Chain A
Amino acid sequence: MTEERIIPAGEKQEWVFIDEPTLDLHVCQQAGSSLRIILINLSSATNILHIDHTAPNCHTEIYALAFLHGTDSVSTHTRMHHDKGEGVSEQVIKFVLDDESKGAFVGELKIKPDAQQVDARQTNRNLLLSDLATMRTQPQLEIYADDVKASHGATTGQLDESALFYMRQRGIAPETGRKMLLRAFMDDIVDRVQDDDQHQRLVEAIDRVLQ
């Protein structure tokens, strides 16, 4: 069941979802509202986030991280619809996939004819830690307005071997170096959680998985 939510005009909200197995949200943002969603998955999940900018001047940030092991899989589907102009959206979606885990990201970004002067950014970065892990990524941009900025980028790769060697040359064990690089990759999302307790719990949960 899709859950409908409204962000009233001028309001600012932050939602943090940690390890929810299913998320299916349809959010209507009213004029001048701001929404920040932080989405963390450490086990299998399906996420659908549909955001409509139904009025001008809305602001949306979506930061998502999935860090998976075993045969877990996470599918994240964002539908970012700019119906009206002067809005901003930023999406940073990251997957770290170990063992035989699977990730999928569909990023639908629609900028409708009325939505002039929109600034929309979508970034998807994925790390594969094993040969058997797989990632599918599918950005879908539909842009019908002519005075907008829209960017997207998707990369999938492995941990940087030259960085690992540099660390080893300074005496850092490869396992320690690998953890430092992984934590650096994930901190970019994790550190956006502003509530201290929540942040602490999340850091501990990720540490447990890293061990």
Chain B
Amino acid sequence: MGTMTRSGRAPTRRTMSNRTRETVAFYLFMLPWIVGILALYAVPLVASVVLSFTDWDLFQPPQWVGLRNYSSLLTGEGSNFWLALRNTAYYAAILVPVNLALSIGFALLLNKPIVLRRWFRTAFYLPSTIPIVAVVMLWSWLLAPSGIVNSLLGTVGVDGPAWLVDPARVKDGLIIMGVWQLGGGVVLFLAALQAIPRYLYEATMLDGAGPWRQFRSITVPMLSPIILFNLINGIIGALQVFTQVYVVTQGHNAGALMLVPFLYENAFEFNKMGYASAIAVLLFVMIMLLTLVVLRWSRRWVHYEGEVS
């Protein structure tokens, strides 16, 4: 790109206006990303939609089947789609609110003037930096049927379940791993809490507001943009969960069959590319709709500083 100002291009340079040169520079700098947008997003996205109307095993040419993939997913005999959706919804519906509530709670405590605050903060943040595969290795060891967690539960007289094996409990085991990694949220809330001006609390204190009242009428509204951010990220992340589920079950536990592992097994184990694309399209639409619903609902409770109400 440096050649533009050097030799070789001199004749063109004389005829090009400054405006044209700036435009050319813009598109040269954007070139890698524009190629990326087309090759990694736009074309594959359209291709996913097209493939979802076909039957394709990668060996024979794709066969156009219209809406058959969708109908067999949604209403077909023995379709696992609803099972995967139910499991994913259970996982998201517990993990997201629990993480949200605990992150806010711990952030509030960490925001108090306590000794060793930095150490506490690091302790809460540390697990969230660990790669998921390592997290699963660690927790499979802790939650093994005769592992340390069950042996601790045994000392208080509780007969611990086979956490990551029993189809009825495997989702709970996965949720525990998710809760353990809540540190990113804690740090975000902590930063947001530190940005709340003190005078707001002092003013309500003069009005005789107690701690609960202050929490309701100052802390929550001031945190609401970050709550929304965490809520949307949490929902999207939980709906797309893959690695934990796969490493724990290899896809062979009906109790933890979730949407992306379901897509994975159809695409990369059964070579059902059209069927898998239909799952991808449904998941994409669900994520979009859910995000829009949450954004719309958030207008009622998100408070933006500087907004005239």
Say if A and B assemble together. Answer: no
User: Which residues of B are at the interface with A, using a C-beta cutoff of 8 A?
Assistant: none
User: Which residues of A are at the interface with B, using a C-beta cutoff of 8 A?
Assistant: none
